């Protein structure tokens, strides 16, 4: 990302909005915004092999593995406003498992770019399927979208839920239902 170019664009945007980019509170805003965008879109520049970082381990277990409530932050590609929420991932290992922290890193890898929630959910599921070749994968994402909360219909309590199920999670209703039951179970 050309940081200097982004800073100039933000400087010009401030002027277009009717602001004075040279006033005290805004003098460093173009640089701060450029750094923020660099961070928020790091998924475009990340190296996928470093995200996984060889954290795939042989396993004879073929039980369901679930990671719930992984925080997800992304940017709506239609309005460039944030959406955020929780991602739940499950898979049934065939002969390999992936380090649990790598599941969160996969969420960030695809989430840190301009997205729609539907695509993001599918990309996460496909990446896990292609990386460890499990019997099946399920991903459910529940997010709030600032483009829906702050503008347009202004519905502050709306939550969008998407799912992507592959392999046995798609083909076997009992597996799919077990996954949905386990991610909805709240431990006290």
Phi-psi region of 3 (alpha: psi -120 to 50; beta: other; left: phi over 0): alpha
Interior/surface letters 88-99, b for 16+ CB within 10 angstroms, e for the rest: bbbbbbeeebbe
> What is the per-residue pLDDT for 61?
78
Residues 97 and 18 in one domain: no
Residues 22 and 66 in one domain: no
Residues 68 and 21 in one domain: no
Q: How far apart are CA 98 and CA 61, in angstroms?
A: 12
State which residues form the domain around 173. Answer: 49-184
The mean per-residue pLDDT over the stretch 91-107 comes to: 95
Residues 64 and 146 in one domain: yes
Residues 106 and 77 in one domain: yes
Residues 157 and 106 in one domain: yes
What percent of the chain shows pLDDT beyond 90? 90
Q: How far apart are CA 96 and CA 168, in angstroms?
A: 16
Res. 155: pLDDT tops 60: yes
> pLDDT of 1-60, one tens digit each?
999 999 999 999 999 999 999 999 999 999 999 999 999 999 999 999 899 988 999 988
The CATH number of the domain where 81 resides is what? 3.30.1130.10
Residues 29 and 122 in one domain: no
Of 46, 34, 64, 73, which is closest to residue 136 (Cα–Cα)?
Answer: 64
Residues 97 and 20 in one domain: no
> What is the per-residue pLDDT for 188?
44
Sign of CA dihedral 14, 15, 17, 20: positive
Q: Total structural domains in the chain?
A: 2
> What is the per-residue pLDDT for 54?
85
Confidence of residue 62 (pLDDT cuts 50, 70, 90): confident
Residues 17 and 61 in one domain: no
Residues 107 and 33 in one domain: no
Residues 69 and 126 in one domain: yes
Confidence of residue 187 (pLDDT cuts 50, 70, 90): low
Residues 86 and 159 in one domain: yes
């Amino acid at each position: 990302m050309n940081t200097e170019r982004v800073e100039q664009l933000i400087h010009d945007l401030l002027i277009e909005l009717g602001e004075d980019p040279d006033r005290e509170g805004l003098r460093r805003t173009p640089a701060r915004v450029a750094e923020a965008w660099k961070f928020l879109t790091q998924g475009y520049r990340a190296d996928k092999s470093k995200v996984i970082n060889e954290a795939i381990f042989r396993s004879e277990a073929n039980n369901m593995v679930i990671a719930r409530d992984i925080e997800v932050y992304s940017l709506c590609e239609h309005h460039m406003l944030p959406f955020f929420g929780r991602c739940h991932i499950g898979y049934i290992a065939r002969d390999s498992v992936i380090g649990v922290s790598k599941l969160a890193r996969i969420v960030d890898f695809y989430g840190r770019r301009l997205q729609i929630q539907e695509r993001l959910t599918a990309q996460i599921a496909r990446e896990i399927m292609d990386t460890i070749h499990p019997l099946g994968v399920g991903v459910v994402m529940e997010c709030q979208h600032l483009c829906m909360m702050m503008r347009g219909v202004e519905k502050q309590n709306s939550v969008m839920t998407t799912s992507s199920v592959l392999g046995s999670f798609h083909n076997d209703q009992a597996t799919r239902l077990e996954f949905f039951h386990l991610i909805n179970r709240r431990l006290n």
